[in-house]
Amino acid sequence: MSLIKDDLINKLTQQIGFKKTESKEIVNLFFEIIKKRLLNKEEVKLSGFGNFNIRYKKSRPARNPRTGEYALVSARNANTINSKSTALKCILRYQSYQNLRFILQSERLLSFVN
């Protein structure tokens, strides 16, 4: 499941009580600030989540896997994020919880069938 801007806007509206237009302005301003900082080649640090930055990648040879043709990939800037361990632990904990839930549900179904 993906988290989209509308989800963030709805959460701000429901949990904090902002009007929907105010929530939309806040979310858009948040992303606009991050985008401007990255375009200025500044690092963006979000405490407890991770660091966003732009990394320059040199041109390099590559191969089209379908045709086998070789081509030169041009130099470019790439967005990167280095997630902090706190965010990663939350994600892994959630995934482990989902996996455990699935296993337990499967066990219940198997015991019901047997």
What spatial distance separates the first Cα and last Cα of the chain, rounded to whole Å?
A: 33
Confidence of residue 47 (pLDDT cuts 50, 70, 90): confident
Confidence of residue 63 (pLDDT cuts 50, 70, 90): very high
> How far is Cα 45 from Cα 18, in angstroms, rounded to an integer?
26
Q: What are phi and psi of 55, to 5 degrees?
A: -115, 135
Q: pTM (2 decimals)?
A: 0.58
What does the pLDDT read at residue 78? 85
Q: What per-residue confidence (pLDDT) applies to 111?
A: 43
Q: Which residues are paired to 77 by β-bridges?
A: 56
